[in-house]
């Protein structure tokens, strides 16, 4: 190189606008081909046709005031959210607490405690998360039963057959999730056990409950379960539904966990055996933590399906959120406002399911240690 040559550093120039930013994203994702372009145009045309009228009906022309249907009958161009406002307590907590407004503080406090316990678990840097989770899974159910069911500390007993709305949906889903997870883990380990009897029993249980529709299980739990107990022993209808849901959900959870167990390399188990670990030490400290991390998407998927399937309890005469919305909108006072009830129930279902899905994705990202370097 000639030492008389002079190198001039040119100023950095930004990349072309067509290769970065929203323009590049639009070209790549929406108009990358003729088919994608036509699909995008059709999609935006459908939005133009349906979204503005929906907002006009749901928000701008909607009825929010009043305490009866007269204002909604006078203005039928918009949604009647007055119906949701008037029947709000019934939709959330059922007939008992709606007819006893002085007792409505009980489910409000119980659900508020659940939210207050859940928020720190979502926040990443919260200390003592393990103890909060243990408290949520062990002590909180006792608090919930004490407050909502009553019978202790002078709190009157509430008739569980009159539970309904979101309260019943939450109770069924929470019990099903909390009880089905440990049972499912044990069944998954049993299905992979080297003992033929344990393996056969686990396989039989899982395949039987997975092969039976939930609606059939709920009917059996309500009608046939009392026949297996001595005379005079009675189970509450809600408890029967919880038992049926738990038996059903544990089978699906077991299969989700088994998928994670099969994904673990055999070398993990062989290495722990070489270190002198026993069966339970090997599974509790080495195998299961890795398997559960892998199984998070499948497990959460079954939990979301369970939360939505609680609507099937209507077959045994229980009114969850969806069925309570339907029943309230078909009463003499509010007959004809089914759409508002369905939209309200659908929004709550979506919010809860989206929350579970988002938290599981966050947990996956936190536990994903592959490719990281310290």
pLDDT of residue 256: 92
Superfamily of domain 85-363: MetI-like (1.10.3720.10)
- Given a cut of 70, the residues of the chain with pLDDT beneath it are 1-21, 232-233, 369-374
pLDDT of residue 341: 92
pLDDT of residue 372: 46
Q: What pTM did the predictor assign?
A: 0.85
Which tens digit of pLDDT belongs to each residue from 61-79? 998 888 888 888 888 888 8
pLDDT of residue 5: 60
pLDDT of residue 4: 59
pLDDT of residue 160: 87
pLDDT of residue 6: 58
Please state the φ and ψ torsions of residue 132, each to the nearest 5 degrees: -65, -40
**Any idea where the domains of the chain sit in the sequence?**
85-363
């Amino acid at each position: 190189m000639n030492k008389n040559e002079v190198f001039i550093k040119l100023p950095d120039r930004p990349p072309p606008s067509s290769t970065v930013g929203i323009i590049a994203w639009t070209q790549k994702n929406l108009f990358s081909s003729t088919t994608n372009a036509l699909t995008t145009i059709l999609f935006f045309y459908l939005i133009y046709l349906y979204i503005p009228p929906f907002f006009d009906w749901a928000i701008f022309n909607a009825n929010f005031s009043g305490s009866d249907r007269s204002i909604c009958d006078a203005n039928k161009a918009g949604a009647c959210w007055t119906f949701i406002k008037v029947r709000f307590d019934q939709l959330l907590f059922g007939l008992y607490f709606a007819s006893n407004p002085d007792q409505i503080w009980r489910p409000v406090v119980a659900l508020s405690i659940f939210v207050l316990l859940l928020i720190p678990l979502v926040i990443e840097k919260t200390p003592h998360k393990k103890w909060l989770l243990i408290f949520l899974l062990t002590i909180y159910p006792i608090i919930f039963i004490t407050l909502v069911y009553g019978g202790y500390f002078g709190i009157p007993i509430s008739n569980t057959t009159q539970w309904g709305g979101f309260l019943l949906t939450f109770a069924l889903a929470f019990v099903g999730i909390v009880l089905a997870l440990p049972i499912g883990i044990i069944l998954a380990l049993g299905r992979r056990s080297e003992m033929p009897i344990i393996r056969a029993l686990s396989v039989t249980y899982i395949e039987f409950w997975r092969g039976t529709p939930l609606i059939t299980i709920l009917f059996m739990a309500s009608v046939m379960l009392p026949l297996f107990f001595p005379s005079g022993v009675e189970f509450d209808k809600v408890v029967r539904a919880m038992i049926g849901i738990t038996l059903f959900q544990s089978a699906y959870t077991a299969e989700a966990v088994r998928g994670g167990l099969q994904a673990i390399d055999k070398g993990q188990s062989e290495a722990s055996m070489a270190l002198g670990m026993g069966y339970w030490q090997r599974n509790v400290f080495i195998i299961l933590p890795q398997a559960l991390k892998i199984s998070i998407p499948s497990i959460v998927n079954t939990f979301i399906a369970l939360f939505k399937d609680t609507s099937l309890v209507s077959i045994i005469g229980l009114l969850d959120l969806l069925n309570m919305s339907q029943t309230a909108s078909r009463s003499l006072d509010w007959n004809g406002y089914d759409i508002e009830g369905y939209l309200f129930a659908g929004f709550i279902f979506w919010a809860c399911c989206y929350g579970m899905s988002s938290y599981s994705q966050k947990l996956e990202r936190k536990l994903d240690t592959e490719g990281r370097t310290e």
